[in-house]
Amino acid sequence: MGKQPVVLIKGRTDAFNNMPLEETLKWIEKISFHMAREIDLLKRYEPEHTEVIGELLNEETIKRFKGLVLSLKFPYLNYKSYSDSSTQEMVEQGLLVQSWSSLGSLLESTLQMFLAFYYRFYIKSEWYKWEEEAVNQIREVLTGSFKESLEDIVKQNETNDKKGLTNAVKKSFIDKAKEILRQKSSLPKIERITLSDLIDFYFSENVLESNDYGKEDLQKIRDYRNAIHAFQKRIIGSWDEYNNYLKAVIMLTIDILYRLPDIPDEESIPSWYYAGKTEIIMQEKEWFDYRLGIDLG
């Protein structure tokens, strides 16, 4: 039996685990805002696909992201200041829906922003796409024998004056199937990827390999975000859960910051960049303990 590899294990400290929601909101604002500024700065040094990256990470996109970051705290602050006990429970539910919706949007935008920055790697991925031969085989059957079988059923229904498959339904089905094949023939545009697919991409392509949060954590944010559909039966996460999943996004955002390149040596470093990065690194030392351990996986 060979030696098992020694790895660096990161553990959460009590300071991080016990951090109250107000403090968590303060730090996710600082870290996410800094990430947006850093990506906005570094995008000019990307050597490839500059036009596409500039389009995805344009001034309006960055500004909107920053606005989302800065407004994340308001539903909880409004809940804390609300004093009408007769409607407090109803208001709390509404503000929780707003909070989860905003957190889901923040997570989605964070994942899209990092993907846009490293666009040159994204376009090399075969994620989401079906093999060309598979698409061609399905298309051949869809527009050939399968379509003919559907047309036969339609004719039989019309001849016998029966209910069932009509020409309109057949055409609608074929068109939707063709659209699925079209989508599966190429990578989707980054700005059109759903949060669910973004999460799938990051984990299936091993972009995120952290032991600090998992795919199920990000999916839970997506699930609670869907509580915005108020007339569907949904479970809305509590403030404690919200605090916990905010921390997962904090860890993810810190991971993203570490994966961004340095400013080229010949360029001057803005004061905000150095100050913000230093503050985040110092805070991370309070939040996490690092130790060497054996990888049992």
- What's residue 159's pLDDT? 86
Measure CA 284 to chain center. 23
Amino acid at 210: S
Structure tokens at 159: 């001849």
d(CA 104, CA 226): 9
d(CA 203, CA 169): 37
Predicted TM-score (pTM) of the model is 0.84
- What's residue 96's pLDDT? 94
- What's residue 3's pLDDT? 62
Per-residue pLDDT of the chain (297 residues; tens, 9 = 90+): 456 666 667 789 999 999 999 999 999 999 999 999 999 999 999 888 999 999 999 999 999 999 999 999 999 999 999 988 899 989 998 999 999 999 999 999 999 999 999 999 998 888 777 777 887 888 888 888 888 888 888 898 888 887 888 989 889 998 898 888 887 878 888 999 999 999 999 998 888 766 678 899 999 999 999 876 655 666 789 999 999 999 999 999 999 999 999 999 899 999 999 999 999 999 999 999 887 766 555
Strand partners, 293: 7
- What's residue 183's pLDDT? 76
- What's residue 1's pLDDT? 46
- What's residue 230's pLDDT? 54
What are all long-range contacts of 269-277, with beta carbons under 8 Å and residues at least 24 apart?
270/41, 272/37, 273/37, 273/38, 273/41, 276/30, 276/34, 276/37, 276/38, 277/34, 277/38
